[in-house]
Amino acid sequence: MGGAVDFQQLDAMLAKVDAALSGASLESATLQGAKLVLDEARIRAPVRSGNLRAHLEAVGSHTAHTAQAVVQVADSAPGGTVREAIFSEFGTSRQAPTPYLRPAFAYTKTKIPTVIEQQLSSKLKD
């Protein structure tokens, strides 16, 4: 029938897969996907003072086996120095919208899974 199973080798291989797909590796991969959106958002963001583009950032977080990454405008909460971010994206009663984040995501969303897959595949090959 079949040959003997080397359980030590199998255990080592599974440990490698677990490490490659750990939260930190997943975060790194999702940040690479978010970077696509970030780069496109920087291109599309309106330039008045350059402050909005300068405050765009990709931020990631993870747990043991999950990860997430977001593209955001730092310091854009009420009272922040980049409050115009939401007004640019959605407009106001006096200002037409100049969307930059949503179109950036729409433009890059089909590329993101490929980037994440490439990142995780390279971790498995290491």
Question: What are 10-19's pLDDT values in tens digits?
Answer: 888 888 887 7
Task: State the pLDDT at residue 82.
Answer: 82
pLDDT under 50: residue ranges of the chain: none
Task: Give residue 97's identity as a one-letter amino acid code.
Answer: P
Are 58 and 37 in contact by the 8 Å Cβ rule? The answer is yes
Task: State the pLDDT at residue 126.
Answer: 66
Alpha-helix residue ranges (DSSP H) falling in 1-125: 7-20, 23-44, 51-55, 84-90, 101-108, 112-125
pLDDT-above-70 percentage for the chain: 97
Distances (CA, A) of 85 to 26, 38, 44, 93, 123: 29, 14, 12, 15, 36
Predicted TM-score (pTM) of this structure: 0.81
Task: State the pLDDT at residue 16.
Answer: 80
